[in-house]
């Protein structure tokens, strides 16, 4: 499919495990004229993920895979082939992909993380930032490599931590910024 701007639209999949608010913002972005991507598949590691509802709302195919099993990644690769998926966006995806899988998509898997990497890799980022009396936290979009939250940084957004900040209020503030940052990072990766 080619949009009026003339470039080829890259077919992508978004991987989720939970609420899917980043998925929703990515779908909205993908349907604007400036988007170089379409979202053709939603992959969830969790059959109960709330974000799966966006498959129905936006008419996007959904697949649920049990990432505990090795065959899951092979099944995903087969699905990707069938639908010509070339790129992956991780959005609140709670499983670790294998080295082999990541190597196959080198430079084509992006992730969003709710901290100013390299600070606070892994889980519970907001509480750890508060415990360390940080003045700022934020979010990062980065390429995925085989080390957790360690791939090349594409874009970051800083968020000020207020006096009476709680882990929930900080999460909310940062999430609102995540929704803007991910589309911007995609445009950057495509040099747009």
- CA distances 118 to 22, 32, 159, Å, are 21, 32, 15
Query: Should residue 18 be labelled a site residue for ligand GRF when binding is judged by CB under 6 A?
Result: yes
- Closest to ligand GRF by CB, 85 or 112: 112
- What CA–CA distance (Å, rounded) separates 17 from 8? 29
- x/- binding map, residues 26-65, to ligand GRF, per CB under 6 A? -------------------------x--------------
The interface region with ligand GRF, picked from 18-26, 53-61, 67-75, 150-158 by CB under 6 A, is: 18-26
CA distance 138 to 156: 7
What are the residues whose beta carbons fall under 8 Å from the beta carbon of 46, sequence distance 6 or more? 16, 17, 18, 64, 94
Single out the residue of 12, 13, 22, 116 in contact with ligand GRF (rule: CB under 6 A): 22
Least CB distance from residue 20 to ligand GRF, whole Å? 5
Q: How many residues bind ligand GRF (CB under 6 A)?
A: 14
Q: Is 185 in the site for ligand GRF (CB under 6 A)?
A: no
Could you give the CA distance from residue 125 to residue 187 in angstroms, rounded to a whole number?
A: 26
Closest distance of CB 51 from ligand GRF, Å: 6
Structure tokens at 95: 């499983």
Classified as helix, coil or strand, 121 is coil
Does 112 interact with ligand GRF (rule: CB under 6 A)?
yes
Nearest to 26 by CA among 16, 17, 3: 16
**Binds ligand GRF by CB under 6 A, chosen from 91, 141, 170, 181:** 91
Binding site for ligand GRF (CB under 6 A): 16, 18-22, 51, 91-92, 112-114, 175, 178
């Amino acid at each position: 499919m080619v949009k009026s701007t003339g470039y080829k639209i890259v077919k992508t999949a978004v991987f989720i495990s939970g609420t899917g608010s980043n998925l929703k913002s990515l779908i909205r972005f993908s349907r604007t004229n400036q988007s170089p991507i379409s979202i053709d598949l939603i992959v969830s590691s969790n059959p109960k993920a709330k974000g799966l509802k966006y498959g129905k709302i936006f008419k996007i195919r959904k697949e649920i895979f049990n990432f505990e099993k090795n065959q899951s990644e092979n099944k995903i690769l087969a699905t990707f082939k069938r639908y010509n998926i070339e790129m992956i966006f991780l959005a609140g995806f709670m499983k670790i992909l294998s080295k082999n899988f990541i190597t196959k998509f080198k430079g084509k898997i992006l992730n969003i993380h709710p901290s100013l990497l390299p600070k606070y890799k892994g889980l519970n980022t907001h509480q750890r930032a508060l415990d360390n009396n940080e003045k700022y936290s934020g979010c990062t979009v980065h390429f995925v490599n085989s080390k957790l939250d360690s791939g090349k940084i594409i874009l970051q957004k800083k968020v000020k931590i207020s006096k009476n900040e709680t882990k929930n209020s900080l999460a909310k503030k940062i999430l609102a910024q995540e929704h803007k940052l991910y589309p911007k990072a995609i445009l950057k990766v495509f040099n747009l």
